[in-house]
Amino acid sequence: MSPGSGLAFRLSRGVLSTIPPPIPRAKAWASAYIPSPGRPLLDMSQGVPGTPPPNVLLDALAKTSSSPSSSGYCHALGEPKLRSAFAQEMRTVYGQNADVTAEDIAFTSGCNMAFVATVMCLADPGDEVILPVPCMSMNLLGIKSVPLYTRSEEGFLPSPDECRRLISPKTKAIAMVTPNNPTGAVYSPALIAEFAELARQNNIPLVLDETYRDFVEHYPPHNLFSETQTEIMDPSWSWRSNFIHLFSFSKSYAFPGHRLGLVAASPDLLQHVTTTLDCLQICAPRPPQLALANSSLLSELRGSIQESAKALRLRHEIFKRSLPAGWTIGSQGGYFAFVKHPFRNVSSLDFCQRLAEELGILVLPIQFFCHELDESQRRALGLAEEGWDRWIRFSVANVDDEKVMRVCERLRECGALFR
Ligand SMILES: Cc1ncc(COP(=O)(O)O)c(C=O)c1O
């Protein structure tokens, strides 16, 4: 019997030790707020696109969704036409000398699925994967997340030297997200190359989630796919032996509800990813795959991706300029800004709850991203230092410029609330 529930059976340790989805919890706070026309709820909690997909994409989706030919399963690794078209698109993003072919690509039902299907191929229960904190967990798979602490003074960038010290015989991968969720930190191509080299030296893969890569200013996001490597990399290195790239279509293509993600990796790994994907999803949804495979749609959409990326970067600037004095931005990029509130001795968990309930501003506290660490782990990581618990994630992407300014204006009222 599960204590506290009406269930006559026990629940798995995996699910019980996994953080419940943070967004419904935050939305529950917001439901206590009474909005008015002059003071609506201002929601900067979820990392979702603030605008719908462009009409050309919506039209293509409408066509493929209603076509009888997309109602069947497709190959476990995805539509062959999109695998080829997206390999070409990867060359647009990572440079024409990027060595990525259709055989290196697998489509998944979103990037979370890409991560799970990949990690299931890499690690068994009891194994370890190193991840920078704040981060999400792998408890559901029985795999231990080994936290790599990142510090505000270093812009929340992970240190390869610290990572090296965490590698043990149980380490099966280093997993990273850049631009990061929740901190917004953008890892430079040189830093990514250092982690890839560390992975190579230890015969483990670097798994890089690049869900937000289209929203950074500097291109390409890294050079790992190129035949000409940086001097950091061993000259004999080939990306297929140690690198796994993950991507989500939810942000760049603004259709999270259509659930499309991808894994780019060696066909030798994808052969096994086929097995996990077949168990988890059978195949990725076909209508979005067929829509994107449509003639020149991918290259047509590149322009609108670049426009939204530019608008988002300008919004980050507005946010930075408009934050009240005393609020500190630790890092900013992609969809998020990671900000420390100025009220000492108020943890951001309580702070964000009151912000939602009393001021109608919905944002996520750092505790939602590192709740699994116990006190001693937090101390060991430096997370017990004064003020670590005052960080807050603002999703700059899912509001417009005017709302960003209204949020910052309303934050000025915190002085009266948290005196
Ligand atoms: C880093 C990162 N990866 C993956 C996802 C989920 O992507 P998808 O909607 O494709 O599953 C998110 C979602 O917010 C994310 O922040």
Question: Which is higher by pLDDT, 417 or 321?
Answer: 321
Question: What pLDDT does residue 377 have?
Answer: 65
Q: Ligand 1 centroid vs 413 CA: distance in angstroms?
A: 33
* CATH number of the structural domain spanning residue 362: 3.90.1150.10
Please tell me the least confidently modeled range out of 136-140, 200-204, 296-300: 136-140
Judgement on whether residues 41 and 97 belong to the same structural domain of the protein: no
Report d(CA 109, CA 31) in Å as an integer. Answer: 30
- Paired with 149 in beta bridges are 133
Specify the number of domains making up the chain.
Answer: 2
Q: Ligand 1 centroid vs 77 CA: distance in angstroms?
A: 19
Judgement on whether residues 38 and 18 belong to the same structural domain of the protein: yes
Q: Ligand 1 centroid vs 286 CA: distance in angstroms?
A: 19
Q: Ligand 1 centroid vs 179 CA: distance in angstroms?
A: 12
Q: Is the CB of 404 under 6 A from ligand 1?
A: no
- The overall average pLDDT reported for the chain is 92
Task: Choose the final residue of a domain: 255, 284, 300.
Answer: 300
Q: Is the CB of 177 under 6 A from ligand 1?
A: yes
By alpha-carbon position, which residue is closest to atom 2 of ligand 1? 211
Where are the alpha helices (H) located in 355-411, listed in sequence order?
Answer: 375-381, 401-411
Question: What pLDDT does residue 2 have?
Answer: 58
Q: Is the CB of 248 under 6 A from ligand 1?
A: yes
Contacts of 139 (CB under 8 A, 6+ apart): 13, 14, 17, 18, 145, 372
Per-residue confidence at 154, pLDDT binned at 50, 70, 90? Answer: very high
Check whether 359 has a pLDDT greater than 60: yes
Q: Ligand 1 centroid vs 251 CA: distance in angstroms?
A: 8
- Number of DSSP helices (H) and strands (E) in the chain, helices first: 16, 13
153 part of a folded domain = yes
Which residue bears the tokens 């003071």? 39
Check whether 1 has a pLDDT greater than 60: no
Judgement on whether residues 229 and 333 belong to the same structural domain of the protein: no
Ligand 1 atom showing the smallest separation from residue 261 Cα: 10
Question: Which is higher by pLDDT, 2 or 413?
Answer: 413
Give Cα 224 to chain centroid, integer Å: 19
Question: What pLDDT does residue 294 have?
Answer: 85
306 part of a folded domain = yes
pLDDT one-digit tens code per residue, 173-208: 999 999 999 999 999 999 999 999 999 999 999 999
Judgement on whether residues 225 and 367 belong to the same structural domain of the protein: no
Ligand 1 atom showing the smallest separation from residue 48 Cα: 14
Closest CA to 115 of 239, 247, 2, 25: 247
pLDDT, mean of residues 261-282: 97
Closest CA to 405 of 390, 418, 394: 394
Burial of residue 217, with CB atoms counted within 10 A of its CB: 0-12 exposed, 13-18 middle, 19 or more buried: exposed
Judgement on whether residues 344 and 278 belong to the same structural domain of the protein: no
Question: What pLDDT does residue 376 have?
Answer: 66
Judgement on whether residues 168 and 316 belong to the same structural domain of the protein: no
Report d(CA 293, CA 241) in Å as an integer. Answer: 28
Judgement on whether residues 46 and 172 belong to the same structural domain of the protein: no
121 part of a folded domain = yes
8 part of a folded domain = no
* CATH number of the structural domain spanning residue 62: 3.40.640.10
Report d(CA 112, CA 99) in Å as an integer. Answer: 25
Query: What is the percent of the chain where pLDDT is above 70?
Result: 94
Assess contact for 66 and 290: CB atoms under 8 A.
Answer: no
135 part of a folded domain = yes
Check whether 4 has a pLDDT greater than 70: no
Question: Which is higher by pLDDT, 381 or 167?
Answer: 167
CA distances to 103, 111, 273 from 72, in Å: 22, 22, 21
Ligand 1 atom showing the smallest separation from residue 248 Cα: 10
Check whether 136 has a pLDDT greater than 80: no
3-state SS assignment for residue 110: coil
Q: Ligand 1 centroid vs 248 CA: distance in angstroms?
A: 6
Q: Ligand 1 centroid vs 116 CA: distance in angstroms?
A: 12
Contacts of 229 (CB under 8 A, 6+ apart): 193, 223, 235, 237
Question: What pLDDT does residue 107 have?
Answer: 98
Judgement on whether residues 358 and 233 belong to the same structural domain of the protein: no
CA distances to 23, 63, 253, 360, 414 from 354, in Å: 16, 45, 34, 9, 10
Question: Which is higher by pLDDT, 372 or 107?
Answer: 107
Q: Is the CB of 171 under 6 A from ligand 1?
A: no
pLDDT, mean of residues 34-50: 94
Give Cα 177 to chain centroid, integer Å: 6
pLDDT, mean of residues 335-343: 96
- Paired with 177 in beta bridges are 209
The first and second tokens of residue 71, run together, are: 């109602």
Judgement on whether residues 349 and 410 belong to the same structural domain of the protein: yes
349 part of a folded domain = yes
Q: Ligand 1 centroid vs 35 CA: distance in angstroms?
A: 29
Assess contact for 105 and 284: CB atoms under 8 A.
Answer: no
Q: Ligand 1 centroid vs 315 CA: distance in angstroms?
A: 21
Question: What pLDDT does residue 316 have?
Answer: 97
Question: What pLDDT does residue 413 have?
Answer: 94
Q: Is the CB of 211 under 6 A from ligand 1?
A: yes
215 part of a folded domain = yes
Check whether 25 has a pLDDT greater than 70: yes
Question: What pLDDT does residue 339 have?
Answer: 97
Question: What pLDDT does residue 245 have?
Answer: 98
Q: Is the CB of 348 under 6 A from ligand 1?
A: no
Judgement on whether residues 337 and 291 belong to the same structural domain of the protein: no
pLDDT, mean of residues 74-97: 95
Task: Choose the final residue of a domain: 300, 315, 341.
Answer: 300
Ligand 1 atom showing the smallest separation from residue 249 Cα: 10
4 part of a folded domain = no
Ligand 1: which of 108, 111, 393 to mutate, most ligand atoms within 8 Å of CB?
111
Question: What pLDDT does residue 382 have?
Answer: 61
DSSP string, 214-254: GG-SSSSS-STTBSS--TTS-TT--HHHHEEEEEEHHHHTS
Report d(CA 140, CA 128) in Å as an integer. Answer: 13
Judgement on whether residues 114 and 219 belong to the same structural domain of the protein: yes
Q: Is the link from the previous residue into 365 a cis peptide, with omega within 30 of 0?
A: no
Task: Choose the final residue of a domain: 280, 300, 320.
Answer: 300
The first and second tokens of residue 73, run together, are: 């399963």
Judgement on whether residues 87 and 168 belong to the same structural domain of the protein: yes
Q: Is the CB of 47 under 6 A from ligand 1?
A: yes
Q: Ligand 1 centroid vs 354 CA: distance in angstroms?
A: 27
Provide the residue range defining the domain that includes 174: 55-300
